[in-house]
Amino acid sequence: MSKASSPSTLSIPNEIGGVRMTKQRKEVYRLLLEKKDHPTAHDIFISLQERMPSISLATVYNCLETLVEHEVLQQVNFDREPSRYCANLKEHGHFLDEKTGKIQDVAFKKDVNIKDLFDLPEDTIIENLDITIRGILPNNSTH
């Protein structure tokens, strides 16, 4: 994305990750590029109502399921809370601010090997890693 374009004007391709991007999928994906706060399906549905008054909650769920299945989006789960969704596909963790309830992406520091953080048997293959950090961010945090 160039500096001149914002997510709301970003042209979404007709196919991403091998999945055809219908009008509804494009809007769901565009919203997740705009909103970096890891919204729930219901949050997405409410936000899309203005753009697409005829969209249903079931359609939003179907779009999310398809986009996650094709690895266009990431589904994020925190305990027993509703699933949240993230368009950031780079390896990263999540910070849950327990004071505000906000969820933010946190990048791994450069040149850090995740395997070095754990005492795993030799030749272990990590296929998936979900890291959630819980705490309270300072009021002036720009993360």
Pairing outcome for strands 92-97 and 103-107:
antiparallel
Residue 2 lies in a domain: no
Distance of alpha carbon 30 from the chain centroid? 12
Do both 101 and 54 map to the same domain?
A: no
Q: What are phi and psi of 142, to 5 degrees?
A: -105, 5
Q: How many domains does the chain have?
A: 2
Determine contact, residues 84/76, Cβ cutoff 8 Å.
yes
Percent of the chain past pLDDT 70, that is, above it, reads 91
End position of a domain, from candidates 65, 86, 107: 86
* pLDDT, tens digit (0-9, with 9 covering 90-100), for 73-113: 999 998 888 999 999 999 899 999 999 988 999 998 888 88
pLDDT for 9 equals 63
CATH at residue 22? 1.10.10.10
* Size of the chain, expressed as the number of residues it contains: 143
Residue 106 lies in a domain: yes
The residue segments making up the domain with residue 56 are: 12-86
Q: What residues contact residue 68 under an 8 Å CB cut-off, 6+ apart? A: 74, 75, 85
69, two tokens? 């299945």
Tell me the whole-structure pTM to 2 decimals: 0.82
Sheet holding 92-97, edge to edge: 103-107, 92-97, 132-135
Do both 82 and 97 map to the same domain?
A: no
Residue 104 lies in a domain: yes
* pLDDT, tens digit (0-9, with 9 covering 90-100), for 50-70: 999 999 999 999 999 999 999
Please spell the DSSP secondary structure of 65-89, one letter per residue.
HHHHHTTSSEEE--TTSPPEEE---
Do both 43 and 79 map to the same domain?
A: yes
Residue 37 lies in a domain: yes
